[in-house]
């Protein structure tokens, strides 16, 4: 078993290509230039994420940096953001530790799940498309967060950072991440083709009692993640699991060059609740099923939970996929 907490995953780069041989199409994607990294509280807890994207509006490059908490117990109380074209431009002490109080963008007195900054990169740094294509932006996203109990009382406060690279190996654990400006007119038009050789993949976890290599994940709450393995050993993507109200959310993020063609998910309060024959799971009988016609490299599945599943302290989740490779020209 190799289930890893989301808090130790490297920065997630969502490079989404959704194209067919006839015409380009996008499947279940918020923004093609979106970059998402976990929001880490207290150094080890993932409570949400920071999403970064940009727009070219009337010749001005507008950067968006959005903090999102998807853990029901946590809230943003302050946010501090530094954005620069060089790492040296982020306020730091002489020993290299970041100084959030001196970050140029901030908001205080908050009690919210989301907060978004918009920065005009043309006004601040003189960046424009196409001249600034492939410019690297250094971003330090800091927050103060609070956790509440079931009665709404604050029971814990922590510092949080957008996951990335630590400023210093010693000292505080503040981090920064990078974002590349990609001017759309500089991206050559491509047509992508599936290879037509889809193979079975499973979210990595515990083995079913049968003789095949199928695996299931035990979800214990919060934000959890694991890898997606094709043909038992080939790492083809990442799987993220969290609760959203009465639903369980399963996010699939494929590695470049791999695409989903089918997805089957089943959630139960015990292992026997997952459809099986002689201990081997039957994906065709899973409760959640979807087929993809385009090249899909990012997908969020929302699985409604019944009353017993909502009350359970842990859930058994079987996540099966058919994964193909693709090439673009």
CA atoms of 323 and 202, how far apart (whole Å): 10
Tens digits of per-residue pLDDT, 281-327?
999 999 999 999 889 999 999 999 999 999 999 999 999 999 999 99
The answer to whether domain 34-181 and domain 192-328 are alike in fold is yes
* DSSP-derived secondary structure for 235-268: EEEEEEEEEETTEEEEEEEEPTTEEEEEEEEEEE
- Structural domain 192-328, CATH architecture: Sandwich (2.60)
Tens digits of per-residue pLDDT, 174-200?
999 999 998 865 445 678 899 999 999
- Cis link prior to 80 (omega < 30° from 0)? no
Q: Give me the CATH topology for the region 34-181.
A: Immunoglobulin-like (2.60.40)
CA atoms of 142 and 98, how far apart (whole Å): 10
Hey, which residues does 138 pair with through a beta bridge?
A: 84, 178
The residue ranges of every structural domain in the chain are 34-181, 192-328
pTM score? 0.52
Q: Which helix (H) or strand (E) holds 300?
A: strand 298-304
Rg from Cα positions in the chain: 21
């Amino acid at each position: 078993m190799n289930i890893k907490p989301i808090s130790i995953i490297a920065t997630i780069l969502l490079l989404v290509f959704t194209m067919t041989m006839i015409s380009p199409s996008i499947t279940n994607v918020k923004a093609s230039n979106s970059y998402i990294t976990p929001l880490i509280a207290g150094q080890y807890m993932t409570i949400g994420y920071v999403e970064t994207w940009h727009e070219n509006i009337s010749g001005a490059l507008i950067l968006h940096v959005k903090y999102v908490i998807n853990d029901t117990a946590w809230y943003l109380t302050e946010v501090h953001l530094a954005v620069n074209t060089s790492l040296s431009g982020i306020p730091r002490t002489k020993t290299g530790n970041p100084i959030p109080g001196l970050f140029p963008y901030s908001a205080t007195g908050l009690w919210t799940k989301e907060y978004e900054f918009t920065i005009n990169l043309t006004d601040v740094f003189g960046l424009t498309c196409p001249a600034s294509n492939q410019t690297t932006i250094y971003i330090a996203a800091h927050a103060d967060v609070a956790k509440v109990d079931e009665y709404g009382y604050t029971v814990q406060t922590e510092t949080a950072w957008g996951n990335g690279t630590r400023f210093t190996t010693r000292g505080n654990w503040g981090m920064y991440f990078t974002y590349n400006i990609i001017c759309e007119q500089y991206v050559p038009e491509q047509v992508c083709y599936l290879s037509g050789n889809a193979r079975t993949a499973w979210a990595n976890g515990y083995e079913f009692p049968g003789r095949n290599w199928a695996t299931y994940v035990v979800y214990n709450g919060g934000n959890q993640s694991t890898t997606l393995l094709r043909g038992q050993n080939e790492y083809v993507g990442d799987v993220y699991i969290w609760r959203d109200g009465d639903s369980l959310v399963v996010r699939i993020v494929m590695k470049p060059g791999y695409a989903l063609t089918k997805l089957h998910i089943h959630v139960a309060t015990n292992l026997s609740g997952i459809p099986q024959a002689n201990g081997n799971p039957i994906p065709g009988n899973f409760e959640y099923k979807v087929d993809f016609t385009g090249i899909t490299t990012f997908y969020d599945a929302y699985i409604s939970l019944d009353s017993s599943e909502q009350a359970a302290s842990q859930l058994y989740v079987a996540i099966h996929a058919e994964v193909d490779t693709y090439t673009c020209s």
